[in-house]
């Protein structure tokens, strides 16, 4: 999976979480960070090759990994809150989820920049 396909996989996951919030139904689509489509690609194709990249790219890889884990932490929180019927608080967490998502996409695009590729 290339970077743009990884971004699309991430966007699809985000879309499912946001759809649960919009419909005010319990979010059951949460997956651990290493089991979503992006995570499956990331931990099979990119993260194991981190040492092959430039120093700048390695720092971005570490940053992407942290952001992606934080994104899934927010997703987990939304799932827990929505399952408990606390839709208002789950919606507040949606803002954090979106911030993590935007940061993740920006970092992936930076990593795709040919000037820092191996």
Q: Tell me: the pLDDT tens digits for 29-60?
A: 778 899 988 899 899 988 999 999 889 889 99
Q: What is the pLDDT of residues 53-85, one digit of tens each?
A: 889 889 999 999 999 999 999 999 988 888 888
Cβ atoms of 30 and 76 closer than 8 Å: yes
* Mean pLDDT of all residues belonging to the chain: 85
Cβ atoms of 27 and 78 closer than 8 Å: yes
The pTM of the full predicted model, rounded to 2 decimals, is 0.84
The CATH number of residue 7's host domain is: 1.20.120
By residue range, what is the domain housing residue 62?
3-116
Cβ atoms of 15 and 36 closer than 8 Å: no
Q: How many CA atoms lie within 13 A of 115 on its CB side?
A: 3
């Amino acid at each position: 999976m290339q970077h743009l396909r990884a971004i699309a996989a991430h966007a699809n996951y985000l879309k499912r979480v946001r759809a649960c919030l919009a419909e005010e139904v319990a979010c059951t689509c949460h997956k651990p960070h290493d089991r979503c489509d992006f995570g499956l690609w990331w931990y099979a194709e990119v993260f194991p090759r981190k040492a092959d990249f430039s120093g700048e790219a390695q720092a971005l890889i570490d940053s992407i990994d942290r952001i992606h884990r934080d994104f899934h932490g927010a997703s987990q929180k939304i799932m827990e809150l929505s399952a408990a019927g606390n839709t208002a608080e789950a919606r507040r967490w949606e803002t954090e989820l979106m911030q993590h998502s935007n940061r993740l996409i920006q970092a992936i695009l930076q990593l795709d920049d040919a000037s820092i590729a191996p």
